[in-house]
Amino acid sequence: MLQIKPDSIVNGRSEEIMKKIEPGSIAVSFWSPPYFVGKEYEKNETFQTWQTLLKSVIHRHYEVLKPGGFCVVNIADIMAFGDENMPRFQALNKSQQKVSITKEQIIHVKAQHPDKNRNELAKILGCSEQTIDRRLNGNNIRGGKHQIQSKVKMIGHYLEEYAEEVGLYLYDHRIWKKDPAWANCKWTTSTLKSVNEYEDLYVFWKPGQYEVNRERLSSQEWKQWGLRQIWEIQSVRKNDDHEAKFPEELAQRVIRLYSDQGDIVLDPFLGSGTTAIAAIKTGRRYIGIEKEKKYVDLALSNIKDAKSQLSLGI
In order along its 314 residues, the chain shows pLDDT tens digits of 568 999 999 999 999 999 999 999 999 999 999 877 555 655 677 889 889 999 999 999 999 999 999 999 999 998 777 777 777 666 666 666 677 788 889 899 999 999 989 888 888 888 888 888 777 776 544 455 566 777 888 999 999 999 999 999 999 999 999 987 654 455 555 667 777 889 999 999 999 999 999 999 999 999 999 999 999 999 876 666 656 688 999 999 999 999 999 999 999 999 989 999 999 999 999 999 999 999 999 999 999 989 888 877 76
Q: Could you give the domains of the chain?
A: 8-84+147-311 (3.40.50.150), 94-137 (1.10.10)
CB contact at 8 A, 140 and 88? yes
pLDDT digits (tens, 9 = 90+) for 223-258: 999 999 999 999 876 666 656 688 999 999 999 999
Write the DSSP assignment of 246-264 as a string of letters: --HHHHHHHHHHH--TT-E
Q: pTM for the whole thing?
A: 0.81
Please choose, from the candidates 208, 206, 228, 233, the residue with its C-alpha nearest in 3D space to the C-alpha of residue 217: 228
pLDDT digits (tens, 9 = 90+) for 35-73: 775 556 556 778 898 899 999 999 999 999 999 999 999
> CA–CA separation, 129 vs 186, rounded Å?
25
DSSP, residue by residue, 180-224:
EE-TT-S-GGG--PPPEEEEEEEEEE-SS-----GGGS-HHHIII
Q: Are 120 and 113 in contact (CB under 8 A)?
A: yes
Q: In the chain, what is the greatest distance between 2 CA atoms, to the nearest angstrom?
A: 84
